Amino acid sequence: MENIQPNDVLAKAEALRNNLSTGFRDEIVKSLYSEAEKIAKRAVKTASDKKYDFDQKVDRIVTSPITGLPIMFLMLGLVIWLTVTGANVPSQLIANVLFGFGDWARALFNSWNVPWWITGFIWDGVYLSLAWVISVMLPPMAIFFPAFTFLEDLGYLPRVAFNLDWMFKKSGAHGKQSLTMAMGFGCNAAGVVATRIIDSPRERLIAILTNNFVPCNGRFPTLIMLATVFVASAFSPALTSFIAAGTVVGVVLIGIGFTFLMSWILSRTVLKGEASAFTLELPPYRKPNVGRILYTSIIDRTIFVLWRAMQTAAPAGAIIWLLANIPAGDTNLAHAIATWLNPFGILLGLDGVILLAYIIAIPANEIVVPTMMMMYTGAGMMINGPSSSVDIYNLLVHGAGWSLLTAINLMLFSLLHNPCATTIMTIYKETKSWKWATVSVVITLGTAFLVTFLTASAARLLGWA
């Protein structure tokens, strides 16, 4: 008998493995499930297979290579449209209550002859920042998270993972990254935590580093404002909400595209390796449990994320007020820094005020808009609540000298820029490494600078700016 060594067997197995088709594993899994189904049908008697047949019929449409992705994007558009249209009124109501209380408390402090800087620091700085975060962030989250949890409870999200699996595999990432990416729409920190479902350390790290390319709930207010003021305003008022939602969906798709691109780059450079194959057993569609949906979406997600945002927004509000009220020559410190940043901002198609607003808003993206408004109006405090689209347009275009290029590049910068402080800390806790937390900032911020610079340069070269 020929003497065969273990290494010979391994070499032969490796040679055979390289000759197998890419779908060989799927064929084996399919045959196993098919045989298990036959055995189950012989051994188990059921009154009716209507429920199973219904699931099969729906999945032929929902997971079809032709209709699966369009349906998924349609569902995303519907959720964003509901968030855009449904959040306006409650956001304004909450703002009226909170800012009204702030005005009353400020007047009370003045009647007690409390020093102006204490009154300003507490009510115009810390409190107004918290009021902005709550009024701007709570209503969209209270709509988005229940809608997301409803789809999760229904059993649709595993279908999303199924539809996107081949794209992530081509990018060198794991198919489960689609679920963590979807969670990032509510909060990128929550999306980072959700990467625990990915077993491979390499692929989990890719999911962590690219999660920020999906706009979180804190960035939606900026995107919605720009889409409404600069894009939707050119159309009929009846179409405003649809155009704004469509614009935001377009920005989201750009973010998803960058997720695939950066995953591909990482998987071929610092995080080399083959994409793991995994078997995704699609669960049956379930009747959503209203109680579970409300508890999970409101308590576990909305309140949890809002509380973390408030913890970071309070000190950020204090910093904003101090910068706006500390003299620096003929102006204040905020405008002095913005003026210093302005040449670099113009290079990116932005301005110094926008860059300073994003530096201050590292703790919480929700305060970007009020910080910009405060500096553009020249006030030493944030404005009280959201203004009308016309007022915002006049302030930004006629007052601050914005153009359509500024709005487009701000959308891109808002989409691609560095994670907020909460997400950075979450990345550190999940990876137990400041190195990867720093890499996440460098990747996203570098991408934001590069894309906005190229966009601005192209626009100027073509005479559009």
Task: Check pLDDT > 80 for residue 96.
Answer: yes
What gap in Å lies between CA 204 and CA 6, rounded to an integer?
A: 33
Longest C-alpha distance within the chain, in Å?
Answer: 103
Q: What are phi and psi of 4, to 5 degrees?
A: -105, 125
Closest by CA to 56, choosing from 285, 278, 279, is: 285
DSSP character string of 215-235: --TTTHHHHHHHIIIIIGGGS
334, with CB counted inside 10 A (0-12, 13-18, 19+), is: buried
Q: Over 90: is that where the pLDDT of 299 sits?
A: no
Residue 73, Cα to own-chain centre: how many angstroms?
A: 16
Two tokens, residue 92? 């304004």
> Does residue 306 or residue 105 have the better pLDDT?
105
Separation CA 417–CA 361 (nearest Å): 11
- For 71-75, 280-284, 450-454, 461-465, which range has the lowest pLDDT when averaged over its residues? 280-284
pLDDT at 12 > cutoff 90: no
AA identity, residue 41: K
Residue 177 CA to chain centroid, in angstroms? 14
**Amino acid residing at 220:** F
Instruction: Give me the pLDDT at residue 296, please.
Output: 86
Q: What is the pLDDT of residue 21?
A: 66
* Alpha-carbon distances, residue 186 vs 72, 149, 156, 384 (angstroms): 17, 11, 17, 25
CA distance linking residue 264 with residue 193, whole number of Å: 22
In angstroms, the CA 372 to CA 243 distance is 24
Is pLDDT of 277 > 70? no
| 349 vs 233, higher pLDDT | 349
CA–CA distance, 421 with 425 (Å, rounded to integer): 6
User: What is d(CA 194, CA 396) in angstroms, rounded to the nearest whole number?
Assistant: 38
CA pair distance 157, 453, nearest whole angstrom: 36
Give the mean pLDDT of 3-22. 72
Average pLDDT, the chain: 86
pTM given for the model: 0.83
Which of 447 and 245 is assigned the larger pLDDT? 447
Kindly report the length of the chain. 465
CA 84/CA 365 separation, integer angstroms: 17
Residues 287-296, mean pLDDT to the nearest whole number: 90
Token pair belonging to 179: 């679920």
Enumerate the domain spans of the chain. 70-461
Looking at residue 382, its pLDDT comes to: 63
Whether residue 343 has pLDDT greater than 90: yes
Contact assessment for residue 161 and residue 207, using Cβ atoms and an 8 Å cutoff: no
Amino acid code (one letter) for 187: C
In the prediction, which pLDDT does 47 show? Answer: 66
Measured between alpha carbons, how far is 99 from 101 in angstroms, rounded to an integer?
5
Query: What 3-state class would DSSP assign to 444?
Result: helix
pLDDT at 222: 85
d(CA 101, CA 96) in angstroms, rounded, equals 8
Looking at residue 295, the DSSP 8-state letter turns out to be I
Local confidence band at 1 (pLDDT 50, 70, 90 cut-offs): very low
More confident residue, 308 or 407: 407
**Do 79 and 249 contact (CB within 8 A), yes or no?**
no
| C-beta separation of 293 from 150 below 8 A | yes
Residue with the larger pLDDT of the pair 314 and 3? 314
CB distance 180 to 191 below 8 Å: yes
390-394 long-range contacts (CB < 8 A, ≥24 apart) are 392/225, 392/229, 393/229, 393/230, 393/233
Tokens of 464: 């559009």
Residue 83 or residue 68, greater confidence: 68
- The predicted pLDDT at position 346 comes to 95
pLDDT above 70 as % of the chain: 92
Q: Both tokens of residue 349?
A: 């198609």
- Spatial neighbors of 275 by CB under 8 A, at least 6 apart, are 168, 169, 171, 172, 173, 174, 203, 267
Segment 142-153 shows an average pLDDT of: 88
